[in-house]
Each structure stands twice: as structure tokens, then as C-alpha cells.
Structure 1
Amino acid sequence: MEMASLDFQYDQAALAARKAPAIDPAKIKSREQARETAEEFEAMFLSLVVEEMFTGLDASNMFGGGNAEKMYRSMMAEEYGKSMAKNGGVGIADMVMTEILKLQEQAGQ
């Protein structure tokens, strides 16, 4: 992989991180909201991981291939991330939820 390509990918990831809304524990009122927010975060993370896995693969002729398939890969990766997070994920949502609840307790004191 070329260095310019890595720099571009890093810039894209940094831009996505800036666009992502920050988690404000004060706005999360219930345990269910905390869980939902944590799962959304995990889904976003997993979709970035899945999208990175696809970067080295060529478009498949089975699905038409070409530039159109490459354009829609990010949407497919996003849906994969959502599906994985909804079905248990990799444990990130549990850790994020724990931290949200800790921050809420500290803010309440």
C-alpha cells in the first residue's frame, strides 16, 4: 500500500471522527438510552473496521462489479456494522455503556 493512500485513509478517518457526535452523558436519561447510544457507537466502529477490510478487494463480477459496487460498499459496511452491534457485537457497547453510567453518577454527585 502506498504512503499517500495511508495518509488519505488517515485523513478520512480523522474527518469521520470529527463529524461523529460526541456522547453527552447528561443528555442520556435512561439505561435504555445509554445502551442504544453505546450500540450506535459500536456499530460505527465496526462499520469502519469492515470497510477497511474491503479496501483491498476488487469489485465482484457476481454483483455487477465496476465503480457502482465500489460506491455502495461503504453503505454495505455500515449495515454490516449495525447488524453486528445489534447481535452482540464485540463488547465495545458494554464498555461504552459502563463509562456512560459512571459519568452520569459522577455528574449527579
Structure 2
Amino acid sequence: MATSFVDSYAGRVPLSMPSAAAKTAPRTDIELSEALTKVSPKAQAKAKATATDFEAMFLNSMFSQMTSGVKGEGPFGDTPGTGVWRSMLTEQYSKNFAKAGGVGISNDVFRTLILQQAKSSNSSSNSASSTSTATP
């Protein structure tokens, strides 16, 4: 007797999907945690602001493309200045969206910035310690 496709994979496929809480639960990022200890709080705040600004810039580009085809009546009417006002509104939407958490780009950018800063602080401290211990 031939087994069906579903029957043959029944033992390999989980019957339940992970819960929504499990999907959104924060992961422990040991590498980032170690890097944060090597970077000053002031540099961390600057990296967070830079990451949020980057995400806002990305979202502004995305929202601008989404609204580029919108013509006719709307909150700005159909006047020659509509494009300027729409771009200003889109910019504010993107900034607010990014500050509220955005789409997650800022988290990855922040992580990358912190890891790079920690790496550069390690290499500069290692080179400084090796030159200070060397005897002429």
C-alpha cells in the first residue's frame, strides 16, 4: 500500500507552530552585550540616534515611492505646491514611524555600529598596550 505525501512527512513536520510570543521574544545577543561594555554610553546614544535616522531616511524613500503615483484631490488638493507639502508630510511620517520602532532596520544598524566601535576600540587598545610594553 502506497503512503501519501502527508503521511510520509507526518513524523518530520512539527504539528504546532511556535507561538507569536516565541517569535517576538528578544534573543540574547552575547556578542552585542560584550560590545556594549566596551562602548561608552554617549557613543551608544549617538549610535542609536544614527541608526534611527538611517531607518527614517530609508522609510522616507519607501513612503515617497508609495505616494509618487497619488494624484488629484487629497489633504493637499491638486495645486502646484502639493509635491512639496506631500514630501514634508512623508518625511514626518517616516521620522515618527522610525521613532516608534519602525520595521527593525535600526536595530540591525545599531548592532553593526556598536560591534564596529567595540572592535576598533579593541584594536586601538591592543596596539597602545603593545607599544607601551615594548622596550627601545
TM-score calculated relative to the size of structure 1: 0.68
Q: Which residue of 1 aligns with 2:52?
A: 39
Give unpaired runs (5+ residues) of structure 1: 1-27
How many equivalent pairs are there? Answer: 82
Shift of 1:59: 3.5
Shift of 1:66: 1.8
Structure 2 counterpart of 1:56, one-letter code: G
CA RMSD, Structure 1 to Structure 2 (Å): 1.7
Shift of 1:73: 1.3
Structure 2 counterpart of 1:69, one-letter code: T
Q: Which residue of 1 aligns with 2:77?
A: 64
Taking the aligned partners of 1:42 and 1:100, their CA distance within structure 2 comes to 14
Check conservation: 1:43, 1:84, Cα contact below 8 A.
Answer: yes
Q: Which residue of 2 aligns with 1:85?
A: 98
Q: 4+ residue runs of structure 1 moved beyond 6 angstroms?
A: none
Taking the aligned partners of 2:120 and 2:87, their CA distance within structure 1 comes to 37
Taking the aligned partners of 1:35 and 1:77, their CA distance within structure 2 comes to 22
**Structure with larger Rg:** 2
Shift of 1:29: 4.4
Percent identity, aligned pairs only, is 35
Shift of 1:42: 0.4
Residues 75 and 83 of structure 1, relative CA distance in 2, 3 Å threshold: same
TM-score calculated relative to the size of structure 2: 0.56
Check conservation: 1:59, 1:70, Cα contact below 8 A.
Answer: no
5 Å matches for 1:1-109? 29-109=42-122
Residues 62 and 72 of structure 1, relative CA distance in 2, 3 Å threshold: closer
Greater helix fraction, Structure 1 or Structure 2: 1
Taking the aligned partners of 1:100 and 1:88, their CA distance within structure 2 comes to 18
Taking the aligned partners of 2:96 and 2:67, their CA distance within structure 1 comes to 17
